[in-house]
Amino acid sequence: MNLIEKYVAEVGKYLPRRNRADIEAEIRSTLEDMLDERTQAAGADREAAALELLKEYGPPRKVAESYGAVQYLIGPRLFPIFEMVLKIVAAVLLGVGLLGFGFNAVRMDMAGPALVTALGKLIYDSVGGVLMAFGNIVLVFAILERVLPLSDQKDLTDEWDPTDLAKEEDPDQVKTSDLVAEIVFTGIFLALFNLYPQYVGIVLFSDNQWTFVPVLTEAFSRYMPWINLLWVLQVGLDVWLLRKGMWDVTTRLINLALKLGSIAVAYVMLVGPAIVKIDADALAGTTLADLAVKLDPLSQFILVPFLIVMIVVPVVEIVQTAIHLFRRRPSAPVTIK
């Protein structure tokens, strides 16, 4: 491969795939024209001239950027929501971590150096989990960046009209940030319960080390297909809504059905065999073994966020959806001429 071909390929690395071949062909054609002109004189050193030409033409990345080829993993339209979700997840992780730490500090009557050591170990052990959580969030946003239509950016390019501020909000207009947040959090829960169910549990400090005790039982996993179905359908509906931009009767009814389904599944789970329990076998061999029975009620706290996600949020949304369906705006008044 000659120098010009290598240069063109290097520029191509930074170009969007859609226009890459076309732009590459144009750059190649121009460079060869320029080189021909410079080496018309007999005995001209073509390679030296190519080197000089490419130096003048500029760094490949800069040339690609001049074609507007700056590519984002997460672009400016989603970045504020991404930042918000990261802060919420960071706050939740920190809160859960501190709660667990506080509980253990009281239980073990920790003080002084023991307290510092335990805290240090907790931070050290949490790094992997925190990075994993943040990595999943970045992944979900990167996918959304490529799935959501560009029309979402209309507010950046449309003519700015300050009277819009005074207009009453259209109740059927979808709220992008709410839907994106719902997609991201549903994605996190899907990943957590399907790929890392062993990380749903409580941490206990014993023998100078943190022991993580999973609390989900076999019974819980039996409900996963139903939970997955509901959550995947929910994500599908959210993406559809983001693309449409407006709620209508069909999407409201589908949303209503999904929320009712969520409550029904949660009800069946709660009245059926225990879905969370501290397994004495998991603590066997540790000084916590004898605590299994005493700690079991604690595991029930895990159910709180589950109940919020599966029952409280759906109930609130069902009420909101019902209000929207029954209070649909009257059609535009007919003008009598």
Residues in contact with another protein by CB under 8 A are 19, 23, 25-27, 29-30, 32-34, 57-58, 62-63, 66-68
> What's the CA gap between 311 and 305, in Å, rounded?
10
Judged by beta carbon, residue 27 or residue 180, the one nearer another protein is: 27
Least Å distance, CB 67 to another protein, is 5
118: region left, alpha or beta (phi > 0 left; psi from -120 to 50 alpha)? alpha
Smallest gap from Cβ 160 to another protein, in A, equals 22
Q: Which is nearer to another protein, 62 or 107 (CB)?
A: 62
| Closer by beta carbon to another protein, 56 or else 281 | 56
Which stretches of 186-295 are assigned E, i.e. beta strand? 201-206, 209-214
Q: Please give the C-alpha separations between residue 250 and each of 42, 325, 330, in angstroms, as whole numbers.
A: 75, 10, 17
The minimum distance between CB 7 and another protein, in angstroms, equals 13
Both tokens assigned to 273: 């065999």
Judged by CB, which is closer to another protein: 30, or 117? Answer: 30
DSSP-derived letter for residue 246 is: B
**Residue 34 C-beta: closest distance to another protein, Å:** 6
C-beta closer to another protein: residue 62 or 222: 62
Q: Shortest approach of another protein to residue 26 CB, angstroms? A: 6
CB atoms within 10 A of CB 19: 13
- In the complex, the smallest distance separating the C-beta of residue 52 from another protein, rounded to whole angstroms, is 15
Select from 252, 222, 225 the least CA-distant residue to 237. 252
Q: What is the per-residue burial (b if ≥16 Cβ within 10 Å, else e) of 154-172?
A: eeeeeeeeeeeeeeeeeee
Give the ranges where 108-217 is alpha helix by DSSP (H). 112-147, 154-157, 176-195
**Separation CA 337–CA 334 (nearest Å):** 9
CB nearer to another protein: pick between 68 and 171: 68
Token pair of 183, please?
């997609």
